[in-house]
Structure 1
Amino acid sequence: MDNPKPTRAGVTGPRGVFTLTNSPLLALGILSISFLMSVSNAVSGTIPLMKRYFSNISEANVELLIVIPTGGVLLGTVISGFVSNLLGKKYTVIAGLALSMVFGVIPAFFYSYPAILVSRAMFGVGMGVFTPLSVSYITDLFPEDTRNRLLGWRNSVGAIGDSIMLFIAGFLISISWHTTYLVFLFLIVPIVLVSLFVPKRLDNVVVEGDREVEEVSTTKPSTNAGVIQLAVVFLLVNLFYAAISLKLASHIVETGIGDSATATRIFGFLVLCSIVSGVAFEKLAKWCGRYTVFIFDALTAVVMAAMPFTRSIPVLLVLVLVAGFCNGIINPALTARMVAYSPKGSMNLTTSIIIIGINIGSLAAPYFFQGLGRLIGNAAPGTMILWAGVFFLALALYDVFIVHKDGLPI
């Protein structure tokens, strides 16, 4: 069925007066929205201290304080489109960032369990509100080459943000677990950058080829089977890749090749991978073209399948770093496909659906691998990582089919 086409009008003034692709400050403002891409990393170190403080609360309920923002993200993502229609893109981003900042720091001042639980959930809602726009701004305002570059840089900015937040949190936690939550005051930085460098008038501007036009949609946002298919692929990629974060540390300890500190050091290098892959994405996407996702899915399959069989920490480190690098290429490559699948005027809705898929994949991962272990009668961490590699191979083969079926450019 044909998608209803929105009405378009040229941007006021002669072409070239305001060139989006040559505005580094605009790119800086938009990329700053992605500064906080992880909902839990910065404060995950507070879990042991919070367990002692809330000694009358069950361990599972204390851990819920760390993961509850993910549920909030799902809710925020659902309402993001409605809020954007009401306030416009710019003010929606600022509102979401402000919501996350305010509720993010509440545990530093209010110490009751219910207050912290609500604040953590609302922190996630704020993230869900602004995160879809961090993608749609890029896909709407920049032509393909610049878009691919910025989508790669978006991953790098998120990795850099995680590193900075972890560093600051490491200092604050030495004072108390309460003060650790002051780290979210850092969200004032993207609020200021978006306020200064992302003009409100770009709320309805899109780029078509090398032309900048104003888009006035006369239809409600819609979706299609292609978007749903892409969301499912995102879900599966995050589900299978989670085997590394969930199972690798246990595999290292159980096989006696290292301890938990060894695993922590290995994971620390993954941030560097995300930064490097984000910078390299544009060139790799040009070289690999429509087979970008297939190549890096297949490479991920190989290195994950090899992980359970190595007993060398240096070799294991290399394998994990290759997997992390591949993941840093796969995600922006899949994100770039949103332009091909999304109906006109529906990028915010498309991004929201994709983010919901990503979060469901992350939330379902522990239960998926638990069920898989029971199904095959072997729940060993190494076995789960091996099977994740097999599943990535299946994703790679599926991708060959889908790029030919849908004629995807990347």
Structure 2
Amino acid sequence: MNQNKNLVLKIALLSTCLVSASLNAVTGLVPEMAAAFPTVSLSTIELIATVPSLFQMVGVLGEQFLAKKLGHKGAMLLGLLFCAVGGIVPIFLPLFPVIFVTRCFFGTGCGLLMSSLLTLIVTFFDGQTRSTMIGLNGGISGLGSAGATFAAGLLLAFGWNVSFSVYFLGFAVMALVLVFVPKASNKDAAPAEKMEKKGSKLPLGLWGLGALMFTSVMLATMYVIKASTLITDYGYGTAKEGSLAITFLSLGSFAAGLTYGKLRAKLGNLTLALAFGICVLGFLLGGFANSLLPVWAGAFLLGYGYLIFMPFLQEQASRSYGAYGETATNLVLVFQSVGAFVTPWLGNLFGLVSGDLKVQFFMTAACFILLAAAAVWQSVKSTRQNHSSEIANA
């Protein structure tokens, strides 16, 4: 397939990011929902933001099975249906148990979308085009998250449950995919993906990538679920302005998606260290903040770093372990989902040290400093090994 020919295909595929990225659109509603459900603990209400991440894992793992029956396009359409229906039900049934269950459906749909999208990108594109598409995946996700979060904030004036109306977008994207995305066949697959190792034991390096994805996503999601609470608890603004923090985070993600390809080509493995360093700055800004602007600026930086390290690790799995086919990318996606899900418990763990949110932000920044140092060490080690190999082969 000529991947440079069909611009509409690229648009249709990337439009699915708008839906999966809107997962965090209602995160800024946590304070409003806490007021609406006073008998439910805050950590349980925060699960509304993170429980979809756990069920993303279900969707990711189930996509391969569904793809055998429906094809990757069919799995993508089913994921969109789950997101659309699971997203809008709370408008009509604003009950906490109902919301919790529908968020599980939404997460499953997101998992199906994430796995099928990466598979179709790898199937239809290769080389620099593939890297660009993976980067744009993050960029469009940031744009979709920003737009959906901003819209949810505006709709908050009509009631917190009305904010879930943003998920009607899923039906529009379904129509786009149905018309413009073809069914993938084996002959479309890039050569590297045609040779999948069957029954082979997964290498430790791949598990290491998964563990790194888990840790970094878990830490980064602290800003996602705590920024709105930080703003309202310290009196910097209202829940609506807290929701805007997620919008700025999403704008940072959009900027990251536009620049990821160039950064990856220029910095190589140091790209990961840069991403972690930017996350450090984001959390420090949030921790030292005494007004709205530093919190918003920190959110932008965190979003930028987040959507640099995430596609980097996804692409690294594909590049280094492509012989394991979809298993490699799906494993990393599973760790990504679980990392986001467990973040409220990380907050509880940090809370044992200090109940001050700012201190918790500083603790998260310290963790990212360790990750950045490890990434620099690994990059230097890899460069030295490559240099030694070149000398030996000379």
Q: TM-score range by the shorter chain?
A: 0.7 to 0.9
SS of residue matched to 2:107: helix
Residues 263 and 53 of structure 1, relative CA distance in 2, 3 Å threshold = closer
2:88·2:167 contact (CA, 8 Å) conserved in 1? yes
Q: Does 1:157 align with 2:151?
A: no
CA apart distance, 1:24: 0.8
Partner of 1:290: 269
Instruction: Please give the residue correspondences for 1:349-364 in structure 2 after superposition, counting only pairs within 5 Å.
Output: 349-364=327-342
Give the superposition deviation at 1:375.
6.4
Residue 19 (1) aligns with residue 2 (2): yes
Tell whether the 8 Å contact from 1:138 to 1:150 is kept in structure 2 after alignment: yes
Within 5 Å, give how 1:116-127 maps onto structure 2.
Answer: 116-127=99-110
Alignment of 1:133-152 (within 5 A): 133-152=116-135
CA shift, 1:19, in A, is 0.7
C-alpha displacement of 1:247: 5.7
Which residue matches 2:167?
184
> Normalized per residue, which structure has more helix?
2
Query: What are the within-5 Å matches in structure 2 for residues 250-399 of structure 1?
Result: 259-260=236-237, 267-301=246-280, 304=283, 308=287, 321-344=300-323, 346-347=325-326, 349-372=327-350, 374=352, 380-399=359-378
Query: Who wins on radius of gyration, i.e. which is larger?
Result: 1
The more displaced of 52-61 and 23-32 is: 52-61
Check whether the contact 2:197–2:325 (CA below 8 A) recurs between aligned residues: no
State the alpha-carbon separation in 1 of the partners of residues 37 and 363 from structure 2: 33
> Does the C-alpha gap of structure 1 residues 38 and 219 become closer, same or farther in structure 2, counting only changes over 3 Å?
same
- Alpha-carbon RMSD across the aligned residues, in angstroms, is 3.7
Query: Could you report, residue by residue, the CA deviation over 1:344-382 in whole angstroms, capped at 9, with x for unpaired residues?
Result: 3622x3232212211222233343354356469998235
Deviations 1:265-294 (A, max 9, x none): 555433222212211112222221232223
TM-score, normalised with respect to structure 1: 0.78
Mark the CA change 1:158 to 1:384 in structure 2 (over 3 Å): closer, same or farther: same
Give 5+ residue unaligned stretches, structure 1: 1-17
Aligned mates of 1:259, 1:186 — CA distance in 2: 31
Distance of 1:327 and 1:115 partners within structure 2: 30
Q: CA deviation at 1:40?
A: 4.2
Match of 1:78 among 54, 61, 80: 61
Contact 2:149–2:246, Cα closer than 8 Å, also in 1: no
Structure 2 Cα separation of the partners of residues 333 and 185 of structure 1: 31
Structure 2 counterpart of 1:230, which letter? L
Distance 1:308 1:331 in 2: 23
Call closer, same or farther: CA 1:178–1:253 in 2, change over 3 Å.
Answer: closer
Aligned residues: 383
Q: Provide Cα deviations, 1:316-358, integer angstroms capped at 9, x if missing partner.
A: 76565444323332222222212223343622x3232212211
Q: How does 1:209-220 map to 2 (within 5 A)?
A: 215=194, 219=198
Counterparts in 2 of 1:273 and 1:220: CA distance versus 1, 3 Å: same
8 Å Cα contact 1:39-1:70 kept in structure 2? no
Report % sequence identity: 21
SS in 1 for 2:189: strand
Query: 1:80·1:352 contact (CA, 8 Å) conserved in 2?
Result: no
How big is the shift at 1:55?
Answer: 5.9
Q: Structure 2 matches for 1:16-165, cutoff 5 A?
A: 18-38=1-21, 40-47=23-30, 50=33, 54=37, 61-165=44-148
Gaps of 5+ in 2: 387-394
The verdict on how the C-alpha distance between 1:298 and 1:177 changes in structure 2, with shifts beyond 3 A counting, is: closer
When the two structures are superposed, what TM-score results if normalisation uses the length of structure 2?
0.80
Secondary structure of 2:268's partner? helix
Match of residue 242, structure 1, among 221, 225, 246: 221
